[in-house]
Amino acid sequence: MSAEATNPGAQISRRRGLPRIDLRRIGRAALLGPTSRGRLPDAMGHVADAHRAHHPDADLGVLHKAYVLAEASHRGQFRKSGEPYITHPLAVTLILAELGAETTTLTASLLHDTVEDTEVTLDQVRAEFGDEVCYLVDGVTKLEKVDYGAAAEPETFRKMLVATGNDVRVMSIKLADRLHNMRTLGVMRPEKQARIAKVTRDVLIPLAERLGVQALKTELEDLVFAILHPEEYAHTRALIADNATAGDALAAISEDVRRVLREAGIAAEVLVRPRHFVSVHRSGLKRGELRGTDFGRLLVLVGEDADCYAVLGELHTCFTPVVSEFKDFIAAPKFNLYQSLHTAVAGPDGAVAEVLIRTHQMHKVAEAGVVALGNPYASVENAGAQDGTAQETAGEPQDGERADPTRPGWLSRLLEWQQAAPDPDTFWTTLRADLAQDREITVFGAEGGMLGLPAGATCVDAAYAQYGEAAHGCLGARVNGRLATLSTVLSDGDTVQLLLDGDAVSGPSPEWLSHARTAAARIAITGWLTAHPETVGLPAAAPRAAVAVSAGRREAANAVVDLPGATVRLAGCCTPVPPDEVTGFAVRGGVVTVHRQECRAVERMRALDRAPVAVSWGDAPECRVTLYAESFGRPRLLADLTEAIATAGAAIVAATVEPPSEQRVRHTYTLELPDAAGLPALMRAMRDVPGVYDVSRAQHRADRLTAPQGGRLGAV
């Protein structure tokens, strides 16, 4: 059960204009129970007024019925403050009603502790209020410590998150429940206050942020701040008190903004929005000494999206804009549904005021997040019948499926990896780490589709997000068309092509763990490494000395030069083969080295005024060529490549495998082909070997050639 205490966030609630709840009066009314069968109890007056403010035609009968059951079930139970326990579900319901929650959510919030703390069963709730209310109540019902022991809390959150995946209203009720508990935490022992505050900080506040419920998130932040950092909280509170007139500076700028917009013919509401405690504290850390305008922001509310940009244009025209402060979250909304234009302008005295520009609907969503969407699972007709309004639905279900715009990518990822978490401790630790990543990026597949990933995600994360455990065979990636290592950090809008080994016989490298940012990737990699302990401690591509194999070399070249008595040698830098266009240059020892015309060594020879020697190809069909194969390190790669070469009918004259670098391996093969016409087919066969991403003819080493001091170029 919860406890009531003094409220360090009371000042925040009053500043926001929320009605204060007289718990003692409500408690007395709750003890008296309903005055008549058809009249709403006095204790529900606050809830009824708040609900009707958002849903004027809502039928309050079901709320009356839920209150009667909750009050009767909790009768005789008291909070540690001495108030009747029914005041807690009433307060939770009022919080949600103020945010605009629909009737089903409010009904479940009134009943959210009945199954956990009273004799009421889920079957009774289902029989009286239907499946939806029953599901919501079950979703927020804690698991018993007697059954789960120390794992009760993490397993309760796991259960709650799974329920949230099917109906996001479960988490809305939990957040409101935690907010009221945090408001009334003062009668708890300090160590218990700290424990609850830390869980709130690590789990509930990030969830409130991701669901966009800023009204709950900001107050939870301040309450946690007061408990975990009392000295900083006291300093910030005193700072706000000492700057009680700070709003005057913003008020003056707001008048100028109203005048500018009025003259431009733009209908807008301009408000001064005070910062909450944590926001003021962060601003102080960032800016040092705070000025009057740093204690709040201007909020401009308009009717249409286009008006937002019209307001922005007027502000940037009539005031001095701070360009670095501009952010467009309308064209590119945050992953938590938030939309707004952010800018900052300087007043005549140089004071800088931050300005938020949004529509009234955007403001509703910015404050209430998913709660503002109403029931995302109801059809228009059902919603209208339930709450007297069709506007609160998120859309019509199609093809028998529930339409759920509140199932963002982060929640889907969380639900996927939690199934693979082997134990409560792993789940709890991973959940906190996952929720600590508070920004998202979107990357696109090379063949279409997109992935939502946390900021800082790498190609490893993209591989596991797209392929699951099949990503164990990932060899590398191309990012925006360029080859990239798996450790490459992705940016918003990148195009990613992941390269998999279809016949993978090996798993992920232990070093992948240092590249993984998502819980799904870390759990999958750790699971594989645990199941294959023999691979732990062995790098994916252990450094090896260069390996070279050679066969008998044929000295004669299939080329004829116009220089009697000269020995012909095909250049190793470009390995020409018929029917390449070639030229030759005489070097020391009466040798003519034959190059392809496009070889850069030819340019260097001509720059040194070396006379070219005419070269033609002989009649012999066989030829020798040097190929470079670029690949990702994996077991049996050398065997598979040599098998592909042999199958294509080529003989290996020499082969070198360089030590791997960042999981990449470079192979150099000098091959004897029975017919130069088979070279394209041979290169295709080598590229088809899993793990090989490029095969090219040797032609770049000439870049490293330098002329001797005497101006003569050595043998090539």
CA distance readout (Å), 89 to 26, 103, 179: 12, 15, 12
Pair type for strands 352-359 and 296-302 = parallel
- 224 sits in which H/E element: helix 214-228
Q: Scanning the structure block, which residue is given the tokens 């204009």?
A: 17
Pair type for strands 440-445 and 450-454 = antiparallel
Alpha-carbon torsion (19, 21, 22, 25), positive or negative? positive
Please tell me which residue in 59, 102, 117, 325 is annotated as part of the active site: 117
Pair type for strands 623-632 and 664-673 = antiparallel
CA atoms of 430 and 434, how far apart (whole Å)? 6
Please tell me which residue in 49, 57, 71, 116 is annotated as part of the active site: 116
Q: Which of 411, 408, 429 is nearest to 154 (CA)?
A: 429
Does the annotation count 580 as an active-site position? no
Q: Compute φ and ψ for 617, nearest 5 degrees.
A: -85, 145
**What is the maximal distance between C-alpha atoms in the chain?**
122
CA atoms of 695 and 630, how far apart (whole Å)? 6
**Those residues with Cβ within 8 angstroms of residue 664's Cβ, 6 or more apart along the chain or in another chain:** 476, 485, 630, 631, 632, 633
Burial class (CB in 10 A: 0-12, 13-18, 19+), 148: middle
Alpha helices in 75-151 (DSSP H): 87-99, 103-110, 114-117, 122-129, 131-140, 145-148
Burial class (CB in 10 A: 0-12, 13-18, 19+), 318: middle
For 704-708, which contacts have Cβ atoms below 8 Å and span 24 or more sequence positions? Answer: 705/573, 705/601, 705/604, 707/604, 707/608
CA atoms of 686 and 643, how far apart (whole Å)? 9
CA atoms of 390 and 384, how far apart (whole Å)? 5
Q: Is the peptide bond before 579 cis (omega within 30 degrees of 0)?
A: yes
Does the annotation count 116 as an active-site position? yes
CA distance readout (Å), 317 to 135, 261, 321, 322: 53, 11, 8, 12
Alpha helices in 331-423 (DSSP H): 360-368, 380-387, 409-420
Q: Map residue 397 onto helix, strand or coil.
A: coil
**Contact indicator for 359, 342 with CB cutoff of 8 Å:** no
Q: Give the residue numbers annotated as catalytic, written as ranges.
A: 116-117
